[in-house]
Amino acid sequence: MTAPSTFGLSTEARNLHWLLSNLVEEVPGVHSVTVVSSDGLMLLSSDPGHHEAKAAGPSDGPKGSSADLATIVSGIGSLTVGAAKLMDGGGVKQTMVAMDEGSVFVMSISDGSLLGVHATPDCDMSVVAYHMALFVGRAGHVLTPELRSELRKSMESDQ
C-alpha cells in the first residue's frame, strides 16, 4: 500500500488516514478501502498513489486506478438508495456483494458519505463488517464539510 501524503493535513485528516490504513492492515482479507463523498468523489483511499492502469492479480484491488473502487462504491450506494426508496425500506446501512473472486462491502457514514471495502472471497464477513462499523463510528462525527474539502484537495494534490 502506498502511504498517503499527510504532511500539512489537520489532525482529524491524519487520524482518518490512520484509521483507513489500519482497516487494511489489521483486517484479514481486506485488499483496499475508500471513502466516497455523497456526491461521488473519492475522499480517502488506502492506495491514493496508485493511478496507472494495470492488470489486477488475485491479491490486487479493482483493475485500473484507485478511483475504480470509489466509482464502484458510489454506484452501489446510489443503486441501493434508489432500491430502498422504491421498496419503502428506509435508509441503507450496509450492502455486500459476494463474487467468485472477491467481495465488496459498502456502509453509510452519517453525512451521506460511503465507506467501501474490497476483500477476498473467503474473508470473514462479520469481522469486515465489524471493523467497518468501528471506522464509521469514529469517522462519522468528524467528517465535517471543512474536513471533506480538505480531504478532497489532498486527493487532488496526490494525483
**Could you give the CA distance from residue 62 to residue 137 in angstroms, rounded to a whole number?**
26
Is residue 125 assigned to a domain?
yes
Residue 129 inside a domain? The answer is yes
Q: Is the whole model's pTM more than 0.85, yes or no? A: no
In a domain, 95, yes or no: yes
Q: Are strands 94-99 and 42-45 parallel, antiparallel or unpaired?
A: unpaired
Question: Is residue 1 a part of any domain in this protein?
Answer: no
What is the per-residue pLDDT for 100?
95
Residue 53 is predicted with a pLDDT of: 34
Looking at residue 62, its pLDDT comes to 53
Q: Are 30 and 23 in contact (CB under 8 A)?
A: yes
In sequence order, what are the beta bridge partners of 147?
none
Per-residue CA distances from 19 to 57, 88, 121, 133 (Å): 26, 34, 23, 12
| Residue 4 within a domain | no
pLDDT in tens, 2-53: 444 556 788 888 988 899 999 999 999 999 999 999 888 899 998 744 433 3
Write the pLDDT tens digit of every residue in 63-88: 545 689 999 999 999 999 999 999 99
Query: Which structural domain, as residue segments, surrounds residue 79?
Result: 9-45+65-151
